[in-house]
Amino acid sequence: MSKGDERNLDHCLKCSTCHTQCPVVANYLAFPGPKQLGPELERLRLARGGKAPFEIDEALNYCTNCKRCDIACPHGVKPSYYNIKNKAKLKGKSLNKFRDWILAHNVWWGKIGSQIPSLTNFGLKFPLTRLSMGLVGVANRHFPKYEKKKVIISKEKKEKKALYYAGCYASYNEPQIIQAAVNILEACGYQVELAPAACCGTPMVSNGLLEEAGKLAEKNTDIFLKYIQQGFKIITTCSSCGLALKEEYAHMLPGEKSNRLRKNIWDLFEILDEEGILPFSSSQKIAKAYYHVPCHLKAQGIGVPAANLLKAIAIKELIIEDSYCCGISGTYGFKKEKYALSMAIGGPLFQDIKESQVPLVITDCGTCKLQIEHGTGVTVNHPAVILENYLKKTQ
């Protein structure tokens, strides 16, 4: 956290708007909410010379890091960042700490699990595996399937260059998103390379491993800046990865480096919108679908560029809904003690989808997809996977 973040506290007028928008407050009355846990607690700490002579509230563990409080604040305060900082200082139960450490390093399990995906997927259903996971505090719920697929990329050199950053979910669970993004970018005239960076660090941040996340952010930033210097734009299809690179890194590494990175990160559909490129033809539209806006896409403040394209190109009737949180928040919904709360938060979204009677839901976030499929049974796809089918044949 930078000094700028601390000065930002003075903009809090205690209006409670953030409190009313917090999905945890609405479903768990013991949660004090973003105003109290964020700016209020931080002000008290600073008033006491930064020594924190009071215990950090354990309720912080229930903050999902959804960022809806940051989006809601009319004065530009970001309560979630104080929560993240103080969460990292919480002691907590050692078994939960161990489980959180496992979940925070999902990139390792993804790398291993996607080597022989059929074996991993079978193993994850095995009752003994489930029992062991339950013993360390992992919820008994649907897990993402692992998948391995070779991505085909053109070797043709072009003036426009894109470094595509897929993130963990697309890399290890749904590589067809990578292929779809590469095909779309190539149709837009880009020479594409896959980013050699691994996890963006969001699971570490959410699980209180702020120091480790900071080191990873620095390593990734250096990799990205080398490409930016060579004229590459960094493009992602994951809303949480995009938010981490644009916003979270700026809080962990304040300064010129993260500023330069921030200016060169784009969501795939944001860049298409910016450049006004439409490599699609709109024949044979899908009759009806539902678009769920991930909280971390909302927090980027770029609108809904994928939904706008889907509406124009691929879907006759697209219901765009941005008022609900699905409740999974990355690894949060995989924790035994938080599973019921995560499903309760997602409840209104599940109900709305069911009442809409749509055969298809579309969303940019891999974990939102898992939660929505788990809560509704309706198929969920990434917008890149849908829009790839509408690429002009001549491209």
Q: What is the DSSP secondary structure assignment for residue 280, as one 8-state letter?
A: B
Q: Which residues have CB under 8 Å from 378's CB, separation 6+? A: 290, 353, 354, 358, 359, 360, 361, 372
**Minimum CB distance to ligand SF4, residue 39 (Å):** 5
Count CB atoms within 10 A of the CB of residue 208: 23
By CB under 6 A, is residue 18 in contact with ligand SF4? yes
**Minimum CB distance to ligand SF4, residue 381 (Å):** 26
Burial of 80 (0-12, 13-18, 19+ CB in 10 A): buried
Q: Which of 27, 32, 42, 79 binds ligand SF4 (CB under 6 A)?
A: 79
Q: What is the DSSP secondary structure assignment for residue 145, as one 8-state letter?
A: P
Pick the closer one to ligand SF4 by CB: 221 or 371: 371
Q: In what order do the strands lie in the sheet with 190-194?
A: 190-194, 160-165, 232-236, 265-267
Residue 156, token pair as written in the block: 């043709």
Q: Which stretch binds ligand SF4 (CB under 6 A): 70-78, 156-164, 166-174, 352-360?
A: 70-78
What gap in Å lies between CA 340 and CA 327, rounded to an integer?
Answer: 10
Q: Which of 27, 36, 41, 63 binds ligand SF4 (CB under 6 A)?
A: 63
- Angle of the 210-229 helix axis to the 256-263 helix axis, nearest 10: 60
Q: Which residues have CB under 8 Å from 248's CB, separation 6+? A: 200, 201, 202, 205, 217
**Minimum CB distance to ligand SF4, residue 82 (Å):** 9
By CB under 6 A, is residue 22 in contact with ligand SF4? yes
The radius of gyration of the chain's CA atoms, rounded to the nearest angstrom, is 21
CB 69 within 8 A of CB 79: yes
CB 101 within 8 A of CB 136: no
By CB under 6 A, is residue 66 in contact with ligand SF4? yes
CB 161 within 8 A of CB 191: yes
- Label residues 81-94 b or e (16+ Cβ within 10 Å = b): bbbbbbbbeeeeee
Pick the closer one to ligand SF4 by CB: 64 or 367: 64
Separation in Å, CA 367 to CA 110, 308, 330, 370 = 14, 22, 6, 5
By CB under 6 A, is residue 67 in contact with ligand SF4? yes
Site for ligand SF4 in 29-48 (CB under 6 A): 34-35, 39
**Minimum CB distance to ligand SF4, residue 301 (Å):** 16
Q: Which stretch binds ligand SF4 (CB under 6 A): 78-86, 173-181, 310-318, 350-358?
A: 78-86
By CB under 6 A, is residue 354 in contact with ligand SF4? no
Q: Which stretch binds ligand SF4 (CB under 6 A): 65-73, 177-185, 186-194, 285-293?
A: 65-73
Residue 78, token pair as written in the block: 């970001």
Q: Which of 12, 195, 384, 391 binds ligand SF4 (CB under 6 A)?
A: 12
By CB under 6 A, is residue 80 in contact with ligand SF4? yes
Pick the closer one to ligand SF4 by CB: 83 or 173: 83
By CB under 6 A, is residue 314 in contact with ligand SF4? no
Cross-strand pairs, 292:
321
Pick the closer one to ligand SF4 by CB: 60 or 217: 60
Q: Using alpha carbons only, give the angle 265, 244, 257 rounded to the nearest 5 degrees.
A: 60
Pick the closer one to ligand SF4 by CB: 28 or 109: 28
Pick the closer one to ligand SF4 by CB: 338 or 382: 338
Can you tell me whether residue 320 is helix, strand or coil? strand
**Minimum CB distance to ligand SF4, residue 214 (Å):** 19
Q: Which of 16, 96, 121, 176 binds ligand SF4 (CB under 6 A)?
A: 16
Pick the closer one to ligand SF4 by CB: 17 or 129: 17
Q: Which of 17, 129, 308, 379 binds ligand SF4 (CB under 6 A)?
A: 17
Pick the closer one to ligand SF4 by CB: 32 or 144: 32
By CB under 6 A, is residue 83 in contact with ligand SF4? yes
Q: In what order do the strands lie in the sheet with 315-321?
A: 315-321, 286-292, 360-362, 379-381
Number of residues that bind ligand SF4 (CB under 6 A): 26
Can you tell me whether residue 216 is helix, strand or coil? helix
By CB under 6 A, is residue 65 in contact with ligand SF4? yes
- Which residues of the chain form contacts with ligand SF4 (CB under 6 A)? 12-18, 22, 24, 34-35, 39, 63-69, 72-73, 75, 77, 79-80, 83
